[in-house]
Amino acid sequence: MKRAVAIIPLVLAVIVGGFFLWGLNPNRDPSEIPSVLISQPAPSFNLGPVPGLDVQGLSRENLLGNPTPVVVNVFASWCVPCRAEHAVLSALVERDGVRLFGINYKDQPADAVNWLRNLGNPYERIGSDLSGRAGIEWGISGVPETFIVGGDGTVLYRYVGPIVGEEAVSAFRQALRQAGVLEERS
């Protein structure tokens, strides 16, 4: 019995050491969060508009039948990284003609309205997800998250976190090119 009790700390040290080594693996990207939605139909949802905004709500049906894929961005006024990526998303809409839809996640409508009035509204449609239920259906881990959805409603790409900085913008633009939203560079 004493021998078994003496081995427990050794076993625990091996387990902790294994997790430590796994965390140090240079091939592991800790920011890469797998999504079960990739290559799957977008979840079924139907969100009303944000009260006080002159923009229609958003549902799964709005993602279907589009000639080119659309971008769905999950954001909130209380989200500091969302504010940082807002200019990038606005530029994609203004300069590149990207169709941008939004899910306003767990946000007070008045706050969302003020936020969009101050920063500008690049969204074609915005669904209000006060309860967070649509966010659960989309499998988000936090805000912001951005998806590219094909005209048949299939989720093609997921970006977790703010699309800011040269590397992030480049990766997202490459995903837009691969999805056929942006033209390939020559």
Residue 117: CATH number of its domain = 3.40.30.10
Query: At a CB cut-off of 8 Å and minimum separation 6, what does 105 contact?
Result: 74, 75, 76, 129, 132, 134, 135, 140, 143
Is residue 68 in a domain?
yes
Rounded to 5°, angle at Cα 100 from 57 and 60: 45
Is residue 2 in a domain?
no
Is residue 165 in a domain?
yes
Residue 16, pLDDT > 80, answer no
The residue among 13 and 22 whose pLDDT is bigger is 13
Is residue 42 in a domain?
yes
- Write down the H helix ranges in the chain: 2-23, 80-96, 109-119, 133-138, 166-179
- Tally the domains of the chain: 1
Is residue 4 in a domain?
no
Digit-coded pLDDT (tens) for 71-114: 999 999 999 999 999 999 999 999 999 999 999 999 999 999 99
Least confidently predicted of 19-23, 44-48, 107-111: 19-23
DSSP code string of 124-165 = SEEEEESSSHHHHHHT--SS-EEEEE-TBSBEEEEEES---S
Query: Mean pLDDT over all residues of the chain?
Result: 90
Is residue 56 in a domain?
yes
Is residue 161 in a domain?
yes
User: In which band, very low, low, confident or very high, does the pLDDT at 186 lie, cut at 50, 70 and 90?
Assistant: very low
Is residue 77 in a domain?
yes
Mean pLDDT for the stretch of residues 58-75: 97
User: In which band, very low, low, confident or very high, does the pLDDT at 26 lie, cut at 50, 70 and 90?
Assistant: low
* Closest alpha carbon to 90 in 115, 119, 68: 119
Q: Which domain holds residue 63?
A: 33-179
